[in-house]
Amino acid sequence: MEWTGAKYADGPTAQAEIWIDAPPEQVWALVSDITLMPELSEELQAAHWVSPETRPGVGAMFVGTSRHEALGEWSTTSHVVEWDPPRAFAWAVADPENPSATWRFTLDPVNGGTALRQWVRMGPGRSGLSVAIDAMPEKEEKIVFVRMREFESAMRTVVAEIKRRAEEATR
Confidence of residue 1 (pLDDT cuts 50, 70, 90): low
Q: Taking a C-beta distance cutoff of 8 angstroms, is the pair 62, 91 a contact?
A: yes
pLDDT, one tens digit per residue, over 15-40 is: 999 999 999 999 999 999 999 999 99
Residue % of the chain over a pLDDT of 70: 99
> 0.85 cut: is pTM over it?
yes
Residue-level pLDDT at 11: 95
Q: What is the DSSP code string of 111-150?
A: TTEEEEEEEEEE-SS--HHHHHHHH-GGGHHHHHHHHHHH
pLDDT, one tens digit per residue, over 122-142 is: 999 999 889 899 999 999 999
